[in-house]
Structure 1
Amino acid sequence: MLDDVPKPSAADDSPFATLGGEKKGSLEQLALLLFIMVPFVALLAAVPLAWGWGVSWLDLGLLVVMYYIGCHGVTIGYHRYFTHGSFKAKRPLRIGLAIMGSLAVEGPLVRWVADHRKHHKFSDAEGDPHSPWRFGETVPALMKGLWWAHIGWMFDEERTSQQKYAPDLVKDPALRRISRDFIYWTILSLAIPPLVGGLVTMSWWGAFTAFFWGSLVRVSLLHHVTWSINSICHAVGKRPFKSRDRSGNVWWLAVLSCGESWHNLHHAEPTSARHGVLRGQIDSSARLIRWAEKLGWAYDVRWPDASRIAARRKSASAEAA
């Protein structure tokens, strides 16, 4: 079936191109480095700046609102909907989720989905783009692997084939356009906080501090929380469910990751719309999907089936091991 999908041409204006080829160029790698390092420097500076000068409620509000718009755009949109088909969405919600995910500044939609589908195909085995077990199981190998899974893999010259792993998205003109326009969504994402901050305070300083907290610090924090699902959640955490990899549940990341850190259940049941299925497991993404379902925006939602969950559950002794 995949052979029937039109292959992209070398031209950038190919109707089936998204963003970038199958190899990263040096200019793209440099741009990636800047997008990682500049917000990260701001994140490091945030603590002493907050201690010395404080942070306004406006800046904090912009950080939180923009953070959770982007985070849920990735978790509900990029991940549960576009990658795994955990539910079906009406067209406005479909487009909205694609744009929200793009505002997280984690890469173009089609590229992100292709990488994640490949990750699930080879999870923690040869071929996985970002397994922390890539270099072995010794402590030095795992330390190297954690760095690779967290950041290093993004600088690998080889890239996942979008045609092979995301042909459904490549064939959708609207989604393909949103993916190709990733740089514009990035600019919009970075511009909203200073625009709001400047207008509310009517000052350039208000625009600057809003940009620092609502754009740079927010983007870096969201990046590292998301990347921690690739690294930390595949190295440590409880594993109450049977899966063919080393995915684990890391409770202290649950709120910041919008429920994604209940990662063991996700790899045991990838299409489930809810990842936090046990008592007390907070999953804000699942809650928002439920609200969208009640409003009629989402339908055919794949909620966890009790019998399947029970079948996947390990015994207490196996879980402890």
Structure 2
Amino acid sequence: MPSSPDVLDETGPSPSSAAAPAAALPPATLGGDQKRSIEQFALLAFIVVPFIALLAAVPLAWGWGVSWLDIGLLVAMYFIGCHGITIGFHRYFTHGSFKAKRPLRIALAVMGSLAVEGPLVRWVADHRKHHRFSDAEGDPHSPWRFGESLPALMKGLWWAHIAWMFDEEQTPQQKYAPDLIKDPAIRGISRHFLTFTIVSLAIPPLVGGLVTMSWWGAATAFFWGSLVRVALLHHVTWSINSICHAVGKRPFKSRDRSGNVWWLAVLSCGESWHNLHHADPTSARHGVMRGQIDSSARLIRWFEKLGWAYDVRWPDADRIASRRTPVPADPA
């Protein structure tokens, strides 16, 4: 991949300018700069087990059905975690697309942690580094890492989707997320990621068991509301790293290969309008064109009207127009 410029404008908090000497910061959060073998094993388990459940979902549903309670738990837990990632981890904590009152800040950190996508501080550090070197040398998960031939791209898509997470060397958190490490509450939530994982997996079977007053109700709720839900959300989120950097329309200017993939829009809560995001990273809305569904932006708007969010960076017509890809003129 080509080398990347050292500075990326308008991505949100700047890792280089915000970084403080390591000695001045509190100890690293859970999931530090070096991934241990036990962490890699746990990561493998959290990927493989829900994925097997996802593969088994269709034949099992065909065989003995699925209750409306199971579906309700799956959908509710899915979109709580998804919006925790898209609004919280991504648009708020990573890019500073808006400012949040303290209760909303904590709520978004907890919601994102329920998605079971890793500790908050590590997630943010990885994503800030991704934007600084997007699709260039230094990007943690570019699908173009190994070249542009079809075999290289296939290998790169696997890397961008899953394999990069097993890399032993991790993004330095004190360099890329010093603002979050300095916040005791956020640091604590990040350190207790495993606790939130247990809570996230336990809520559906607890609700299912209490509503049906049966162990079977708890078991099916765990299968659909915990395992299938986590697997589906994982692969939708990872598809933003892989698919949305390999294919899709690019109506806006960006220095990478980010594209808009419409069929992921609803499940990704608006994140798959990825080309605009890389053209204007701090924008609170990613789906800026007519018909582009962006549920995350809608919720941010509601938070703003309630007074929970403020200084929201909404795109205006001039800002959008300035980022459009020029249309080649017709030959005379």
Short-chain TM bin: over 0.9
Q: 1:110 aligns with which of 93, 117, 121?
A: 121
> In the alignment, which of 280, 302, 310 is matched to residue 313 of structure 2?
302
- Where in structure 1 are there 5+ consecutive unaligned residues? 10-14
Deviations 1:236-281 (A, max 9, x none): 0000000000000000000000000000000000000000000000
TM-score of the superposition, structure 2-length normalised? 0.92
Where do 1:204-219 residues align within 5 Å?
A: 204-219=215-230
Deviations 1:181-210 (A, max 9, x none): 000000000000000000000000000000
CA distance in 2, matches of 1:257, 1:16: 33
Amino acid at match of 1:227: W
1:7 and 2:23 are equivalent in the alignment: yes
- Quickly say closer, same or farther: Cα 1:85–1:316, change in 2 above 3 A: same
Match of 1:283, as an amino acid? D
| Counterpart check, 1:196 vs 2:207 | yes
Q: 1:105 to 1:273 in 2, by over 3 A?
A: same
Query: TM-score by structure 1 length?
Result: 0.95
User: What SS does the aligned partner of 1:273 have?
Assistant: coil
The aligned counterpart of 1:291 is 302
Offset at residue 6 of structure 1 (A): 4.0
Are the equivalent residues in 1 in contact too, given 2:81–2:115 (CA < 8 A)? yes
1:135 aligned onto 2:146: yes
Amino acid at match of 2:251: P
User: Is the aligned partner of 1:154 residue 2:165?
Assistant: yes
1:70 aligned residue = 81
Q: What are the Cα deviations for residues 63-85 of structure 1, in whole angstroms up to 9, with x where unaligned?
A: 00000000000000000000000
Higher relative contact order (CA 8 A, sep 6+): 2
* 1:80-105 deviation per Cα after TM superposition (whole angstroms, max 9, x unaligned): 00000000000000000000000000
Aligned to 1:39: 50
| Paired amino acid for 2:143 | P
Structure 2 CA distance for aligned equivalents of residues 126 and 6 of structure 1: 25
Structure 2 residues without counterparts, runs of 5 or longer: 1-16
The answer to whether the 8 A contact 2:100-2:308 is kept is: yes
Instruction: Give the counterpart letter for 2:167 in structure 1.
Output: D
Q: State the SS of the aligned residue for 1:198.
A: helix
Work out whether residues 7 and 163 of structure 1, in 8 Å CA contact, stay in contact via their aligned partners in 2. Answer: no
- Separation in structure 1 between the aligned mates of residue 262 and residue 37 of structure 2, nearest angstrom: 38
CA gap 1:98/1:52 in 2 versus in 1, 3 angstroms: same
Moved more, 146-155 or 43-52: 43-52
**Structure 1 runs of 4+ off > 4 angstroms?**
none
For 2:184, the equivalent position in structure 1 comes to 173
| Percent of residue pairs identical | 84
Aligned length: 313
Shift of 1:17: 2.3
CA root-mean-square deviation: 1.3
Corresponding residue of 1:242: 253
Q: Which residue of 2 aligns with 1:230?
A: 241
1:51–1:7 distance in 2 versus 1, CA, 3 Å: farther
CA change 1:8–1:150 in 2 (3 A) is: farther
